[in-house]
Amino acid sequence: MEHIIGFLGGGNMAGAMIGGLLKTTDPARIRVADRHPEKLEHFAEAGVRTYEGPGDWVTECTLLVLAVKPQNMKEAVEPYVPFLNPEGCALSIAAGIEASALSAWLGGYRVLRAMPNTPALVGCGMTGFWAPEGTPDEMLAAALAVLKASGDVVRVPDENGIDLVGAIPGSGPAYVFRFMEALEAAGLKRGLDPKAARSLALGTVYGAAMLARSSDEPFSRLREKVTSKGGTTAKALEVMNARDVDGMMDEAIEAALKRTAEMKALFR
């Protein structure tokens, strides 16, 4: 079955997902709606059918991706309820709104959840995916095809796993960028020009990630391979370990999870 895939919201993440889909999918099978017509122009130029609101086009969609900011979600989805395809389902990529709340807003419609991250914009996304028990195989396949179009996907066994995905790969690019800022700042402080400092920080993180991706070895073993006993790397790591990097990261993840819990409570 060739699914018709609709997107409610035409922002950056929807754009990344649609961009990935267009590499393998006929644009005539993709629909996107956004109340801001300027966001729709580049989709229309690519052959995607665009709309500024609900209509019969929604009924054609067997998978409707909810790509709206959490604070605007309830108001955005309610006008679409009369048009939902009874054989389809919704796929939410919004943080902090449980499937039960979304389903209630959608009149009891089946809801799947995913948490992508911003590297999806360059085809390198890391997405967590959850589907309730009993979801038809066809719906699972359609959702996974959409998500895999912009990167890798990991299925989580229960909906709470989506919260952890949000705290690690969802927010994770910001953690990595913060580390890159620190590397860049250390170089600038010691006389590097801005272009060189940026290039060295970026190349370090990119190269390390690519090396780790090409290897089955644990991260700890890869670290050990770079670290000569008594050498410069060992001395630098002594400083980092003294600052309890593991503890800091654990606290950061816990803070993100706490905020997610607060958001979930607001939307119940």
DSSP state of 163: H
84 is in an annotated binding site: no
117 is in an annotated binding site: no
69 is in an annotated binding site: yes
Quick one: which of 43, 35, 4 has its CA closest to 146?
Answer: 4
Quick one: which of 35, 29, 28, 34 has its CA closest to 13?
Answer: 34
112 is in an annotated binding site: no
| φ and ψ at residue 50, rounded to 5 degrees | -120, 150
Amino acid present at 35: R
C-alpha distances (whole Å) from 34 to each of 11, 37, 89 are 8, 7, 19
8 is in an annotated binding site: yes
**Tokens 């956004």, located at residue:** 34
22 is in an annotated binding site: no
257 is in an annotated binding site: no
Burial 149-159 (b: 16+ CB within 10 A, else e): bbbebeebeeb
The two tokens of residue 184 are: 């860049």
70 is in an annotated binding site: yes
48 is in an annotated binding site: no
C-alpha distances (whole Å) from 120 to each of 3, 62, 137, 254 are 22, 23, 25, 24
9 is in an annotated binding site: yes
Q: Detail the residues annotated as belonging to a binding site.
A: 8-13, 67-70
Which residues fall in the annotated binding site for NADP(+)? Answer: 8-13, 67-70
